[in-house]
Structure 1
Amino acid sequence: MPVLTRLIPSPVVVDISGRAMDQLGDLLADQRISASGKLAIAISGGSGQALRAKLAPQLPAADWYPVIDGTIDSAVRLADGIKGKRYDAVVGLGGGKIIDVAKYAAARVGLPMVAVATNLSHDGICSPVSILDNDNGRGSYGVPTPIAMVIDLDVIRDAPVRFIRSGIGDAISNISAIADWELSHRVTGEPVDGLAAAMARTAGESVLRHPGGVGDDEFLTVLAEALVLSGIAMSISGDSRPSSGACHEISHAFDLLYPGRSALHGEQVGIGAAFAMHLRGAREDAALFADVLRGHGLPVLPEEIGFTVEEFVRAVEYAPQTRPGRFTVLEHLNLPADEIRDAYADYAKTISS
């Protein structure tokens, strides 16, 4: 008898609502993640510290672990600190860096991880990947998907609006990433996981087509759901392919070539996605991407995030080296610098008309 279904790695609970954080202890107990409340909670020095006073009364048995930065060293230190202390779970309370550190540390000591996101800057909040800085720049480390996902819309609204906008760019970039995956299937024969692709594309389209904005709870809910679905899509496929194509290669190139100058991840991948759509000949889609990004206050040109055209051209030319073995429109076209420069000029003209 053939296997008729497959198990999908995903959180046992996803709570996206106002005041969701107020019910964190009850939620973990009800879901049998932690009836005792014995938790190791990783927090940042910013939003995490501010929320500690609010959460501490409902989690008296928890221990709190400040995390300095999003490096592999911080993740290893956290793992060493919680090892052998019989916690029920590790909780990452904060933005993407804290959650990535907590995911890695939890995986290292064999504990389930609960993600409590304080902003919506990118889809790493629910992905099976930790992005951590290391001696060679930045690395991607495979980890289990969080066992629970909590997103408090009241907390999200208090975060800098730039973080929400960054999440919009990351979600929309799924559409470009799927186009790259399908291109690779046609050219190289790389298999496409249809379920993962459908989930990631639906997530991107839900944000791209939504009429609301960053001040609208309905829109914030759709954005949060899209980022969670993107993470689950990556779990289904077993890698970042559903949400990472030329758009992310360009962003990684910015990070590597211009350390300390890079913009937020979602800002960079948003520009990368619009430009990649243009390279595919999808001018109308590129213009739509640019219009939607502009409408949400996101950049659409490298000059708007502090890079010159020549620096952008260099980043696009270098981008394929950031993900060896991944085939996207950049590898397919293999454009030299002068042709990238011409393509960018045409892109800038297209989205301004």
Structure 2
Amino acid sequence: MPVLTRLIPSPLFVEIRPGALDALAGVLADQRLSTAGRIAVAISNGSGAKLRQRLEPQLPKADWYRVEDGTLDAAVRLAEQMRGGHYDVLVGMGGGKIIDAAKYAAARVGLPLVAVATNLAHDGLCSPVSSLDNDAGRGSYGVPSPIGILVDLDVVRQAPLRFVASGIGDIVSNISACADWELSHRETGEAVDGLAVAMARSAGENILRHPGALPDQDLLTALAEALVLSGIAMNITGSTRPSSGACHEISHALDVLYPKRSAQHGEQVGLGAAFASHLRGERELTRLIVDCLRTHGLPVTADQLGFSEAEFTDAVHYAPNTRPGRFTILEHLDLSPTAIRDAYADYVQAVNR
């Protein structure tokens, strides 16, 4: 008998609207996550700390934990601090680093996580992965995805515009990542999950062609929804494949080689997506990505990120080492440093026409 359906891991609830934060306590109770109010809240020293004053009256029984940064050590400390607390749920409140640390800590102590985003910098909001800095640079750790997502657009609008624009770079890179996945299918026979591709690519295309400008509410809403869909696409396939190809390999290489100088994740993967599309010979797509990045003030060349041509060449050459076993246009072409430098020069000439 054929299998007629499949279960898709997804959040129990998603709230994306202005003023959503004021409904947090009610949502937790309505969803029966914490009717007694036994809640742990992980916050940053920045935006999360400011919101604590606003939310404490709504969450009188909550315990608040400050997370210093997005490191593995900080995530482990958070888990240890929560042990024995008999909580119903952990709420991770802040930017991507805090939510990633909270996802890891929740998995370590066996708590469901509700992610409350104060910016939209990348698709970790709903993904089954925590990206945390460690002694070797940065690692990706498999974790359960959040059981709930809450995005207050009024709060997001107050975040630095650069952080929100970074989310645009990250979500648009899905298009390049899916193209790399399909390339791998043609060249190596790697299985492709069509539903995951449809969701991830649709999310990217929606932002790529959205006519709005930041911080317009329509675009913020579309971006938040796209980031959630991207996370669900990763849940469907059980890996980051729908949203991570050569674009992310290049970004990870910049993080490894130049850890003190790396830019926002979305800024790096946006440039990586444009360059990877150029390498695949997709001239129209490259132009669309570059135009989208420029519209939202994102870098489209290495020097705009603060890297020289030689440094970017070294990063692209090193990039396949960051994801052993993943096949993208970089592994397919297997370019020498000289060939990468020439290809990048062609790319720069093309985008500056």
Aligning the two structures, in what range does the TM-score lie when normalised by the shorter sequence? over 0.9
Partner of 1:6: 6
Pairs within 5 Å for 1:134-283:
134-283=134-283
CA offset digits 1:236-295 (Å, max 9, x no partner): 000000000000000000000001100000000000000000000011211111111101
CA offset digits 1:200-233 (Å, max 9, x no partner): 0000001001000112100100000001100110
Secondary structure at the counterpart of residue 42 of structure 2: strand
Distance 2:12 2:229 in 1: 13
TM-fit CA distance, 1:305 = 1.1
CA offset digits 1:301-321 (Å, max 9, x no partner): 010011001100010000000
Distance 2:110 2:7 in 1: 21
Give the letter for the 2:12 counterpart.
Answer: V
Partner of 1:111: 111
Partner of 2:36: 36
TM-fit CA distance, 1:190 = 0.3
Pairs within 5 Å for 1:43-62:
43-62=43-62
TM-fit CA distance, 1:99 = 0.3
TM-score, reference length from structure 1: 0.99
Secondary structure at the counterpart of residue 57 of structure 2: helix
Give the letter for the 2:11 counterpart.
Answer: P
Distance 2:69 2:303 in 1: 28
Runs of 4+ in 1 over 3 A off after TM superposition: none
TM-fit CA distance, 1:3 = 2.4
TM-fit CA distance, 1:94 = 0.2
Distance 2:124 2:59 in 1: 25
TM-fit CA distance, 1:2 = 2.8
Distance 1:336 1:45 in 2: 44
Give the letter for the 1:54 counterpart.
Answer: R
Distance 2:85 2:68 in 1: 21
TM-fit CA distance, 1:98 = 0.5
CA offset digits 1:295-342 (Å, max 9, x no partner): 111110010011001100010000000000000000000000111111
Distance 2:215 2:91 in 1: 28
Distance 1:53 1:36 in 2: 21
Give the letter for the 1:136 counterpart.
Answer: A
CA offset digits 1:39-70 (Å, max 9, x no partner): 11000000010000001000001000000111
Partner of 1:342: 342
Secondary structure at the counterpart of residue 212 of structure 1: coil
Partner of 1:87: 87
Give the letter for the 2:89 counterpart.
Answer: A
Distance 1:225 1:235 in 2: 15
| Identity %, equivalent residues | 69
Secondary structure at the counterpart of residue 58 of structure 1: coil
Q: CA RMSD in A?
A: 0.6
Say whether residues 1:289 and 2:285 are aligned partners.
no
Secondary structure at the counterpart of residue 149 of structure 1: strand
Distance 1:31 1:271 in 2: 40
Partner of 2:321: 321
Secondary structure at the counterpart of residue 57 of structure 1: coil
TM-fit CA distance, 1:85 = 1.4
